[in-house]
């Protein structure tokens, strides 16, 4: 029997079992997945990624798996939730993907949302900070942890984060929230390779503001403590309807390879640090 044969939502999952229902579309977001900012019946805002997006349905699975591993490493990342798309809203005039010269509608009713940390109507959320303000980011060390995780998961997109000002402090400070993990495992290809230039933050000065070598060692020890059981426990959060034929077997093989990659990760990280001059 496959280790991933059961897809019943288990108690260890960090994803709420009950989907939130999309109530309104606010605006389309930038990016290859052609996501939308939406508001749901719980009054929360989410960046919604829809099944059938141009980057592939596997990228939604990648988000769920990576999110649960990121949380185990105590990195700040917005909560994820399954999103239900009602039939009436599925016919929204602007809800389609542009694929070449074709317009393609999302597939099905169950999709994925990354919760917006604050109400975007009342709080400024920055997707970029000037280099001079990076020292004001209170969790800048998370960039080192994500460097290790992105290398382990073969993240092929640039490492992305949004920044929110801490209004509870007299001194100016920001909190980084790490987002957008769909291109882990090289997106829909589900491959793990050695690529020094992949998965780096656009603002590379974030790495020079911290003691990368020391923080990377701490992150590696945390990754080393992620067990095979922890890895397999990430899979049951994936809705059954997202799987296509052969996906379960491919996912089981991917997680097995990810487990093996833990053993060689310290050497890989050292090689990448040297290559990048950190």
Range of the domain at 256: 20-276
Provide the pLDDT for residue 76: 97
Provide the pLDDT for residue 3: 45
Confidence of residue 202 (pLDDT cuts 50, 70, 90): confident
pLDDT of 164 above 90:
yes
Provide the pLDDT for residue 10: 52
Residue 51 lies in a domain: yes
> pLDDT tens digit string along 102-141?
999 999 999 999 999 998 888 999 999 999 999 999 999 9
Residue 11 lies in a domain: no
Residue 7 lies in a domain: no
d(CA 169, CA 175): 12
Provide the pLDDT for residue 1: 36
Alpha helices for 73-204 (secondary structure H): 142-152
Confidence of residue 213 (pLDDT cuts 50, 70, 90): very high
Provide the pLDDT for residue 169: 66
Instruction: Give the pair of three-digit tokens for residue 170.
Output: 């007299």
Instruction: Give the pair of three-digit tokens for residue 22.
Output: 């999309």
Question: Which percentage of the chain shows pLDDT scores above 90?
Answer: 84
**CB 189, CB 62: distance < 8 Å:** no
Residue 45 lies in a domain: yes
Residue 114 lies in a domain: yes
pLDDT of 46 above 90:
yes
Q: How many CA atoms lie within 13 A of 77 on its CB side?
A: 28
pLDDT of 228 above 90:
yes
Mean pLDDT for all residues in the chain: 92
Q: State the average pLDDT over residues 65-83.
A: 97
Q: Which residues contact 24 (CB under 8 A, 6 or more apart)?
A: 38, 39, 89
Q: State the average pLDDT over residues 35-43.
A: 97
Residue 10 lies in a domain: no
> pLDDT tens digit string along 178-198?
999 999 999 999 999 988 889
Sign of CA dihedral 268, 76, 202, 136: negative
Nearest alpha-carbon partner for 220 in 160, 261, 175: 261
Long-range contacts of 191-194 (CB under 8 A, 24+ apart): 191/154, 192/153, 192/154, 192/254, 192/257, 192/258, 192/261, 193/154, 194/268, 194/271
Residue 2 lies in a domain: no
pLDDT of 231 above 80:
yes
Provide the pLDDT for residue 47: 98
pLDDT of 168 above 90:
no
Residue 15 lies in a domain: no
- Counted domains in the chain: 1
Which run of H or E residues covers position 276? helix 247-276
pLDDT of 17 above 90:
no
Q: How many CB atoms lie within 10 A of CB 264?
A: 11
* C-alpha distance from residue 224 to each of 152, 235, 253 (Å): 11, 19, 19
Provide the pLDDT for residue 12: 62
Return phi, psi of residue 165, to 5°. -70, 140
């Amino acid at each position: 029997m496959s280790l991933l044969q059961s897809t019943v939502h288990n108690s260890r999952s960090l994803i709420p079992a009950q989907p939130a229902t999309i109530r309104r579309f606010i605006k389309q977001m930038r990016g290859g997945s052609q996501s939308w900012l939406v508001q749901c019946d719980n009054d929360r805002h989410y960046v919604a990624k829809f099944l059938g997006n141009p980057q592939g349905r596997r990228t939604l699975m990648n988000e769920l798996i990576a999110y649960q591993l990121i949380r185990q490493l105590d990195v700040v990342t917005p909560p994820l939730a399954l999103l239900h798309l009602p039939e009436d809203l599925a016919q929204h005039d602007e809800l389609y993907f542009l694929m070449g010269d074709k317009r393609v509608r999302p597939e099905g009713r169950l999709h994925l949302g990354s919760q917006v940390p604050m109400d975007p109507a009342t709080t400024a959320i920055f997707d970029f900070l000037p280099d001079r303000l990076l020292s004001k980011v209170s969790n800048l060390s998370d960039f080192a942890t994500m460097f290790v995780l992105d290398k382990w998961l073969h993240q092929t997109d640039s490492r992305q984060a949004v920044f929110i000002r801490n209004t509870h402090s007299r001194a100016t400070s920001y909190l980084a929230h790490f987002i957008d993990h769909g291109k882990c495992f090289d997106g829909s290809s589900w491959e793990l390779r050695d690529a020094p230039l992949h998965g780096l933050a656009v603002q590379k000065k974030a790495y020079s503001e911290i003691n990368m070598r020391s923080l990377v060692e701490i992150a590696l020890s945390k990754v080393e403590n992620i067990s095979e059981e922890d890895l397999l426990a990430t899979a049951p959060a994936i809705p059954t309807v997202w799987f296509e034929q052969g996906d379960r077997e491919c996912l089981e093989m991917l997680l097995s390879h990810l487990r093996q990659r833990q053993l060689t990760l310290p050497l890989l990280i050292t090689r990448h640090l040297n290559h990048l001059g950190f």
